[in-house]
Structure formats: C-alpha cells, structure tokens
C-alpha cells in the first residue's frame, strides 16, 4: 500500500519558471513532511520540511504548501535553475516511520 503518492513522475521546466511537485498522503498520523533532493549517484539531501500546524513554509526559492484537510502538500521551486535539475522526493513521517513518494525527476532547461 503506497502511503505517499507523488506526481508528476517527471517534469521539464524552462529556466526562470516555477516547478511544482505534488504529494498526497493517507495516514493522518503523519506529522512531519520533508522534501529531499537527490542528484545522480548521491544520497538524498534534506531540502525543506514542514509540520502540519502551518500551511506554508518558504526557504529561499523553495516553498512548501500544506493542505491538512485535503492531506496534500506541494513543493514550489521559484525561478528554477538548471542546477535544480535532480530527483525530488516528498516524505511523510510519524515517530521515525518515514514513507517516501516515488520521486519526481526535474529537468530545468537553460
């Protein structure tokens, strides 16, 4: 049973555009929602995270929007750059039980 569903599977954006990746979860016990960025051959790196008591969190060009009632959250990358090209994973965590989405491969074209 896939507890975290992520879409799209792949995304192509022009440089300067906005990249949007969406995730939905099922288990209402999840209380921490991180996003990870992974470059080929590397381990996932924690990018930004949110807890369900806030609806939005922004760090630089990266913003998480969180909709608790819909059990959905999304990552927005503003002014996307070629260096942002990577695979992005959303995750949902409850008491150290972390479940990952399947990943979105983002390509930012120059």
Task: Give the binding site for another protein (CB under 8 A).
Answer: 6, 32, 34, 36, 42-46, 49, 89, 93, 95-103
Cβ neighbours of 72 (radius 10 Å): 14
CB of 79 to another protein, least distance (A): 26
CB of 95 to another protein, least distance (A): 7
Residue by residue, DSSP assigns 25-40 as E--TT--BEEEEEE-T
Three-state SS at 58: strand
Whose Cβ is closer to another protein: residue 61's or residue 105's? 105
Query: Token pair 């090209």 is at which residue?
Result: 85
Whose Cβ is closer to another protein: residue 77's or residue 90's? 90
């Amino acid at each position: 049973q896939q507890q975290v569903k992520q879409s799209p599977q792949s995304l192509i954006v022009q440089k300067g555009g906005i990249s949007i990746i969406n995730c939905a979860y099922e288990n209402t016990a999840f209380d921490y929602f991180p996003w990870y960025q992974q470059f080929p051959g590397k381990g996932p790196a924690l990018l930004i995270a949110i807890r369900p008591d806030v609806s939005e969190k922004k760090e630089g060009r990266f913003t998480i929007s969180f909709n608790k009632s819909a059990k959905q959250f999304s990552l927005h990358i503003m002014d996307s750059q070629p260096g942002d090209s990577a695979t992005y994973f959303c995750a949902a965590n409850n008491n150290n039980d972390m479940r990952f989405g399947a990943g979105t491969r983002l390509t930012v074209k120059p």
